[in-house]
Amino acid sequence: MNPSASGWIKKLLKDISDMAYGQSDQSSFYKSLKQTGFIYGSNVSVILNLVKPFDFTEEEKTKINLFLSFYSIHQHSQPNNDFINSLVNYYKLIGNQKRSVFDGLFGANSQNSILEKVIHKRIHIDDNLFSKNFNYFLINALLFVDVLGYKHFLSSKQDTKIYVNNLESALETIVFSVIDSKKDKTEYDYNLIKLFESSIRHKNLNLPTYTDAISFFVEPLEKLYAVDLVCMASWTDKKIDSEELKFLNQLNTDLDLNNEAIATSLKDINQFYNDYKNKVAFLKSKNLAQSFYDNSSKVVIKLIKRNSKRLIKELSESKEAMLLLTKSTQRNLTIEEQKKVQDQLLDIFKSIPSLAIFLLPGGMILLPLFVKFIPKLLPSAFDENRIGKDE
């Protein structure tokens, strides 16, 4: 079974057909999934060792773990219904929007082929584009949102897109809150705060308040995942200060979890770091927030350079975007202006496949960096108003 070759889903389903896979309770399954690194965005193994120990790449391990996560959810919810069809229909539903990154994939010959293409595109946009640090820590750490969305889809097909959007927004709120709670913030903490503040997915809405975000987490898996993401954010400098600990304890109470939930989450991420710090690229950094920001900046710069001609052409047809980007070289844009320029850029990204990253969960976090760097890396069009040009 080779997850990089056509037909891997059919072979994988055959391999696990005789197993009692998916029969354990979902909290135990989630714990096993976390041990693979899936929740942390860096897959070091395959869940429960359900496939033969081939030398899979990290991308292939991610594909397997994502697929098996969906399968486990399905076996618990609707084991008698067609799994592949339901999962394809789920992705059609959440992708049925103006800027779907899955456009063009649903015309394949078979449902298995469709699903293989969707999963590939979901986790890996361009082999030569991403640094491992960026790809795994940002995009793949949010893959469990897809799994929770599928769980909701199986229980109630109504408002699935709204559920996924609300889940992402609620997660952003509490992750931002723990970063903001740090007593002594570093330069990179402030950068991350700005990124999260600017990463509102729905331009007509604000992120929910902390209280509203907490109320969204009802199911056990939602709570476990929320705690792990928040602990990852607080752990980025590998120490927890008193204010962070206070916030984490309050979060534990607000989510109505047992007293060991936060301690267990922090213990798990520490264990993962100790076991794999020499194997996982992003764990080698002394400061994960610094690694995240630096690598995100490199990715954005590379994106702009690779697509500069196409960007210039598209931007020249969008006077409002050009005006706002020019203003950004002279002063900070207002919140309203930031939303406008992000809307304009997202419309442009639809026509440039390499920029599909910004349309995925987590991709919005990079837009402020894009706005920051694009005037510096595109020629002439922005030169007349660039700060410091004549100094």
Please identify every stretch of the chain with a pLDDT value under 70, giving residue numbers as ranges: 17-24, 50, 52-54, 96-109, 124-140, 157, 186-206, 235-239, 280-296, 357, 359-365, 377-391
With residue 17 as reference, give the H or E element that holds it: none
Nearest residue to 304 via CA among 215, 375, 256, 255: 375
CB atoms within 10 A of CB 198: 19
Q: Is 117 exposed, middle or buried (0-12, 13-18, 19+ CB in 10 A)?
A: middle
Neighbours of 85 (CB within 10 A): 12
What pLDDT was estimated at residue 173? 86
Nearest CA to 355 among 345, 341, 365, 344?
Answer: 345
Which pLDDT belongs to residue 292? 61
| Structure confidence at residue 238 (pLDDT) | 63
pLDDT value, residue 309: 84
| Cα 277 to Cα 272: distance, rounded to the nearest angstrom | 8
Residue 69 to residue 33: CA distance in whole angstroms: 8
Owner of token pair 């007349």: 384
Least Cα distance to 69 among 48, 95, 88 occurs for 48
Determine the Cα–Cα distance for residues 200 and 170; give it in Å rounded to an integer: 11
pLDDT at 254: 94
CA 50 remoteness from chain centre: 25
Strands (DSSP E) contained in 161-310 are none
How remote is the C-alpha of 295 from its chain's centroid?
A: 15
Distance CA(91)–CA(231), nearest Å, equals 29
What is the pLDDT at residue 126? 45
What number of CA atoms fall less than 13 Å from residue 269's CA on the CB side?
A: 25
pLDDT of residue 30: 92
Task: Give burial (CB, 10 Å; 0-12/13-18/19+) of 158.
Answer: exposed
Q: Within 13 Å and on the Cβ side, how many CA atoms surround 224? A: 18
DSSP letters spanning 69-116 = HHHHHHHHH-TTS-HHHHHHHHHHHHT-STT-TTTT-TTSSSHHHHHH
Domain annotation for the chain: domains and CATH numbers:
1-151 (no CATH), 159-284 (1.10.3680), 303-385 (no CATH)
Which tokens go with 131? 């640094």
Neighbours of 364 (CB within 10 A): 22
> What is the predicted pLDDT for the residue at 221?
93
pLDDT digit string, tens, across residues 11-28: 888 877 655 555 567 888
Query: Are 157 and 93 contacting, i.e. CB atoms less than 8 angstroms apart?
Result: yes
- How far apart CA 56 and CA 49 sit, in angstroms, is 12
The confidence score (pLDDT) of residue 337 equals 83
Q: Which residues contact 75 (CB under 8 A, 6 or more apart)?
A: 21, 22, 23
CB distance 139 to 193 below 8 Å: no
Please identify which residue in the block is written with the tokens 């995009």.
139
